[in-house]
Amino acid sequence: MTRPAIGMEYTVLDCPDPGALAAFYGAVLGWGVTRSDDHWVVLQGPGALRLAFQLAPDFVPADWPAEGVRVHLDLRIDDMDASTRWVLGLGAELVEGPADHPDFAVFRDPAGHYFCLCLND
């Protein structure tokens, strides 16, 4: 059987306020909104990279590490100190690092999703 054409459309984060969370990640990444309504917001990055936010009024974030984390975002950075200050200033919460790990730090976004800042190799 020949593999049909299947590609990645979006990475989607469920959240209670898609506009607010899109604004957070738009500021973190420097990406712009390409689509927005009450239930769905899309950020466009370089090339085909897109991140979407979907309304989920009953969204409850996982309690890490007790409940584990099934999916998170790894964001590539050049400067841990400056990037940490930037995301904290935008409303992220530091969970672990960078003192715990020199190459990455774990954060929660304002809706409670986990993401990591990872130093470039």
Q: List, for residues 40-70, the tens digit of each pLDDT value.
A: 999 999 999 999 999 999 999 887 666 666 7
Contact between 78 and 120 (Cβ < 8 Å): yes
> CA-to-CA distance for 21 and 41, rounded, in angstroms?
9
Its domain, for residue 53, covers 8-59
pTM of the model: 0.88
| 90-120 tens-digit pLDDT | 999 999 887 777 899 999 999 999 999 999 8
Name the residue with tokens 């299947």.
6
Looking up residue 53, the CATH number of its domain turns out to be 3.10.180.10
Upper half-sphere CA count for residue 1 (Cβ side, 13 Å): 3
Q: Are residue 79 and residue 94 in the same domain, yes or no?
A: yes
Q: Are residue 28 and residue 83 in the same domain, yes or no?
A: no
